[in-house]
Structure 1
Amino acid sequence: MLTDEYVKKVYAQVEKRDGDQPEFLQAVREVLESLQPVVEKHPEYEANGVLERLVEPERVIKFRVAWVDDSGKVQVNRGYRVQFNSAIGPYKGGLRFHPTVNEGVIKFLGFEQILKNSLTTLPMGGGKGGSDFDPKGKSDAEVMRFCQAFMTELCRHIGQFTDVPAGDINVGAREIGYLFGQYKRIRDEYSGVLTGKGLEFGGSLARTEATGYGLCYYTAEALRVLRNDSFEGKTVVVSGSGNVAIFATEKAQALGAKVVTVSDSNGYVYDPNGIQLDVVKDIKLGHRGRIKEYAERVPGAEYHEGCKGVWTVPCDIALPCATQNEIDGESAEALVKNGCTVVCEGANMPSTPEAIEVYQKNGLLYGPAKAANAGGVAVSGLEMSQNSYRLSWTFEETDAKLKSIMESIVANSLAAAKEYGEEGDLMAGANIAGFVKVADAMVAQGVL
């Protein structure tokens, strides 16, 4: 609950201005509730209007993207880039291409990115962008033309030391390649303006695996510190079947767990013998198929229509890796009923406030997205460093740095939670640890 008068005033202002953006309101309220003991202890934050400035983006860019499909028809989409906060570094955050993208969704993602980037300890501010364009069912030529049209406008707002986008949902190696090529053509410069690039033109080893691997490194460290436990012998439910889900599954299996589900927007598959990752990779990375194909190819596997049922599968650990608000209160209750004791988030804000309340009421180990899925942007930051140095680290070097960053996020979150009377609370700790660094930088730089 909001009890601090300063915090209540700030949230009321956000509600008044952005009442039509439910995802953004949800993200802001969750963070502000955690920050109440911090602002009570630091009156300089109120004196400098830190919260008022934190919840208001420095810049919101919205633009038309016109492109021509394969039949010669003109299509028009909307493009967005929200440059939220640059107190500790250039704006950094992915681009999402999905029909559900709107200003409120991009703002919630950008707001979360401020604290997530801060937690990595790397010098990156918070931003996010995307479009309501849907690449599913489009030809490579159509995706290329859209990306070129999108970057023709976006290129005037980004740069290696200004704003460095990456990929997100439906923006993978193909899209990043097209976007980078168009930026290079228009600006006539070869720079580290995008991350998630191909290895041939400045990309980093381990970037593709980073969010999924990082999620498991975070979960493993939280289990070790808080439960004296590990992945070994655990049954894991994973949602999604994109990069995050695939590589979370890969690392969880490597750490001794049995992953029994993956899903997509149509439904989920349950494989009691453990997911065969080579089949999932072939379906999703090989030819962009639907996950129901898995059950047609693997004996004993079951396909179920609808995504929500994945949370009724008995498990020890749940790793939601699909999209925002995929676990509601009812689904959280089902997880608890079926033996789940750990939820760590690979997607952005996949749990509703009601779901989080269920986790906390039942004593689950809960790792929030802004901490647990920070591995992707952490390696993006490492890619920026490699681009600046004009060198490339080995997979093992980058992976070791990623593991160290994720373990430090657990340690710093727990230390911050303890300092402000929330001992053992990874969600409160992540919000506080990420916020304090940004807030102190904002105070030091004056009212901007």
Structure 2
Amino acid sequence: MTIISENVKKPSQYVADYLDEIYHSVVKQDPNEPEFHQAVAVFLQSIYPLLEKEPQYIEKGILKQIVEPERVITFRVTWVDDNGKTQVNRGYRVQFNSAIGPFKGGLRFHPSVNTSIVKFLGFEQTFKNSLTGQPIGGGKGGSNFDPKGKSDNEIMRFCQSFMTELARYIGPDIDVPAGDLGVGAREIGYMFGQYKRLRGAYEAGVITGKAPDFGGSLGRTEATGYGTIYFVQEMLKDNRMRLEGSTIAVSGSGNVSIYAMEKASQLGARVVACSDTTGYIYNEKGIDVDTVKEIKLKRKGRIKEYLDFHPDTTYSEDCAGIWSVPCGIALPCATQNELDEEHAITLVKNGVKVVAEGANMPCTPKATEVFLNNGVLFGPAKAANAGGVAVSQLEMAQNSMRLKWTFEEVDERLQDIMKSIYRNCVDATKEFDNATNLIQGANIAGFKKVADAMIAQGVI
């Protein structure tokens, strides 16, 4: 393994050897899972100060347990397309850790989905959920099904088939899926309808991300993007900086990106660039979020269409080129490993002060090292983008109590949760004399709660 940041103390040889042993055992057991290996490596490199101080986590074999999911489920999903042909996809659910609550994590429908992806996401979800302070464990799932280009009826038939199998393994007190990439309110609705049909009961708390009319929470759609901005706001305040007047570049143009742009604009920042898989737009005067919403959420179009409304905007086809745009704050909100070392160096040269991960693991380890070594404030994904799962748990709470909170109530709770997450990360970094490395703080704070619960519950 390689140490992410050179400006931290190195572990003792005993701890270093133990971490290497854990990492290499993961790689040896599942050699073709690079995303999962990367997530485990970053985690292990972060928590060694805690292991030095509290060796019981080594003595009780907690790390050996925590890198192994409790359950990995794969299944066949067969469905019939509009031409009457039978199609086959693969479904996944990784139930990673239930030490502090039922498994909780989204479902991703995308051609890239495989075991490595869902294990990496479920592993990260375990510590992200822990950081929220709410009683939820970590899980993730999905399918290599691609919703793009499919009719509503095809998506419905796929979702019904997917849920017919998944329903065997989930429940309000067992595992509560949600949406993720490629899974929005439409897909959640189809899956919930099928679950209800199979169970013969209205168990609203079995899945989150539902429409507000049948058990969904107001504010859930906005939560991840809003939460990322609330986290950035706390980072800035703590370093005597302001969000108001800042220039921001945001990759992606899905829900996370759009609502991060919306909240940033509401708080006085200027979003100058955003992207989709085909390219990016740039306007130094600022991007109009309502136009992006119209194009991406209503029309399901391409970001290039923005120029039809605002011809003074520049469009470039290389979506990764967005990181060449000068900005004070960069928010990678698209997908894993989208921002590499070269992009990070360019951002630093152009004066970036803050980077916060709206997507899951969007920065490569080398990129993260560049940011940390150049004094850039860095908000890791498991902390900065935890707003989505936080509000998902609030949806679970509302379902359990048969209540419905207003948007304002949910948003206020979200702000409090993001402030608490930031403070927990900072407190953990200060405890180990490395107050600038929130990656370390997030991993230590998230891990400790889960690990202590595992010790208390014994070997299970």
Task: Tell me the TM-score normalised to structure 2 length.
Answer: 0.96
> 2:233 aligned with 1:220, yes or no?
yes
**Distance in 2 between the 1:391 and 1:410 partners?**
28
Deviations 1:207-248 (A, max 9, x none): 0000000000000001101x1112111110000000000000
Runs of 4+ in 1 over 6 A off after TM superposition: none
Which residue, 218, 223, 233 being the options, matches 1:205? Answer: 218
Task: Name the residue aligned to 2:162.
Answer: 150
Kept in 1, the 8 Å contact 2:372–2:437? The answer is no
> 2:339 aligned with 1:327, yes or no?
yes
SS of the aligned residue for 1:209 comes to helix
Query: Which amino acid in the other structure matches residue 436 of structure 1?
Result: K
Residues 306-321 of structure 1: matches in 2 within 5 Å?
306-321=318-333
Task: Name the residue aligned to 2:147.
Answer: 135
> 2:454 aligned with 1:442, yes or no?
yes
Kept in 2, the 8 Å contact 1:197–1:203? The answer is yes
Cα RMSD, aligned residues only: 0.9
How many residues in Structure 1 have an aligned counterpart in Structure 2?
447
Shift, 1:49, TM fit: 1.0
Which residue, 226, 246, 271 being the options, matches 2:283? Answer: 271
Kept in 1, the 8 Å contact 2:377–2:436? The answer is no
Query: Which amino acid in the other structure matches residue 83 of structure 2?
Result: S
Shift, 1:271, TM fit: 2.0
Which residue, 258, 261, 275 being the options, matches 2:273? Answer: 261
Task: Name the residue aligned to 1:124.
Answer: 136
Query: Which amino acid in the other structure matches residue 50 of structure 1?
Result: I
**Distance in 1 between the 2:77 and 2:307 partners?**
38
> 2:414 aligned with 1:402, yes or no?
yes
Residues 33-432 of structure 1: matches in 2 within 5 Å?
33-191=45-203, 192-225=205-238, 227-432=239-444
Query: Which amino acid in the other structure matches residue 204 of structure 1?
Result: S
Deviations 1:413-436 (A, max 9, x none): 010111122223211100000000
Shift, 1:165, TM fit: 0.4
Shift, 1:272, TM fit: 2.1
Which residue, 3, 10, 28 being the options, matches 2:40? Answer: 28
**Distance in 2 between the 1:32 and 1:21 partners?**
17
Shift, 1:35, TM fit: 0.8
SS of the aligned residue for 1:280 comes to helix
**Distance in 1 between the 2:199 and 2:292 partners?**
38
Deviates more, 1:320-329 or 1:300-309: 300-309
**Distance in 2 between the 1:197 and 1:326 partners?**
29
Task: Name the residue aligned to 1:12.
Answer: 24
Give % identity. Answer: 64
Shift, 1:65, TM fit: 0.6
Task: Tell me the TM-score normalised to structure 1 length.
Answer: 0.99
Deviations 1:45-71 (A, max 9, x none): 112210001000000000111111111
Deviations 1:183-223 (A, max 9, x none): 10111111110101000110001100000000000000011
Kept in 1, the 8 Å contact 2:51–2:57? The answer is yes
Query: Which amino acid in the other structure matches residue 309 of structure 2?
Result: R
Deviations 1:375-431 (A, max 9, x none): 000000111100000001111111000000001111110101111222232111000
**Distance in 2 between the 1:214 and 1:412 partners?**
15
**Distance in 2 between the 1:434 and 1:263 partners?**
31
Deviates more, 1:155-164 or 1:421-430: 421-430
**Distance in 2 between the 1:422 and 1:8 partners?**
22
**Distance in 2 between the 1:278 and 1:360 partners?**
34
Deviations 1:2-23 (A, max 9, x none): 6522212111111111221111
SS of the aligned residue for 2:169 comes to coil
**Distance in 2 between the 1:422 and 1:90 partners?**
33
Kept in 2, the 8 Å contact 1:272–1:300? The answer is no
Kept in 2, the 8 Å contact 1:214–1:375? The answer is yes
Shift, 1:440, TM fit: 0.2
**Distance in 1 between the 2:300 and 2:186 partners?**
12
**Distance in 2 between the 1:13 and 1:117 partners?**
25
SS of the aligned residue for 1:155 comes to helix
SS of the aligned residue for 1:330 comes to helix
SS of the aligned residue for 2:156 comes to helix
SS of the aligned residue for 1:447 comes to coil
**Distance in 2 between the 1:229 and 1:267 partners?**
31
Shift, 1:297, TM fit: 2.3
Query: Which amino acid in the other structure matches residue 232 of structure 2?
Result: T
**Distance in 1 between the 2:314 and 2:188 partners?**
34
Kept in 1, the 8 Å contact 2:295–2:303? The answer is yes
**Distance in 1 between the 2:190 and 2:29 partners?**
36
Deviations 1:65-107 (A, max 9, x none): 1111111111111100000000000000000000110000000
Kept in 2, the 8 Å contact 1:292–1:303? The answer is yes
**Distance in 2 between the 1:33 and 1:339 partners?**
28
Query: Which amino acid in the other structure matches residue 221 of structure 1?
Result: E
Shift, 1:291, TM fit: 1.1
Shift, 1:307, TM fit: 1.3
Unmatched segments (≥5 aa) in structure 2 = 4-10
Kept in 1, the 8 Å contact 2:232–2:356? The answer is yes
SS of the aligned residue for 2:183 comes to coil
